[in-house]
Amino acid sequence: MTTRLGALPEEDFAMPTHVVCRSDELAIGQMKAFAVGGERIVLYHLTDGFFATQANCTHVFAPLSRGKLIADSQVQCPFHRARFDIRTGQVSDWANFPPGIQLLNVVRREKALRTFEVNITEGNVQVNVPTT
């Protein structure tokens, strides 16, 4: 442990790491919801690795684990078809279904998903989730 003058020890800033599954439990092209560290997340297995985002769409909080994976890079919300880049959390397409939903979009502005760091250690998928 290293302590800096006027600061908390470095270990106080460590982000808790949670093992959510084995790497062979989630095939490429699949996603699954988990509860870790008091946070609901979705873990995605894409062709270039594992990624994690918050579990609910930022539009009206629909469960993204019930959505669709699009082009090995995006998740589409099951309610209003908002799409998000899984790697960055950025909005790719905002909610556009059903017709007329754009009126709600005036109030519910675009908002990116939170993403979480994922590591694989000895076959275990670990997600770093900050404490709240």
Q: Per-residue pLDDT tens for 73-101? A: 999 999 788 999 999 999 998 777 666 66
9 or 17: whose pLDDT is higher?
Answer: 17
Percent of the chain with pLDDT over 70: 79
d(CA 101, CA 80): 8
What is the structure's pLDDT at 38? 87
Sequence ranges of the domains in the chain: 15-125
Specify the pTM. 0.80
Q: Which helix (H) or strand (E) holds 119?
A: strand 118-121
Q: Is 7 exposed, middle or buried (0-12, 13-18, 19+ CB in 10 A)?
A: exposed
Domain 15-125: CATH architecture, name and number where available: 3-layer Sandwich (2.102)
Going by C-alpha positions, the residue among 23, 9, 14, 11 that lies closest to residue 131 is 14
Q: Is the pLDDT of residue 5 over 50?
A: no
Given a contact cutoff of 8 angstroms between Cβ atoms, the answer to whether 43 and 32 are in contact is yes
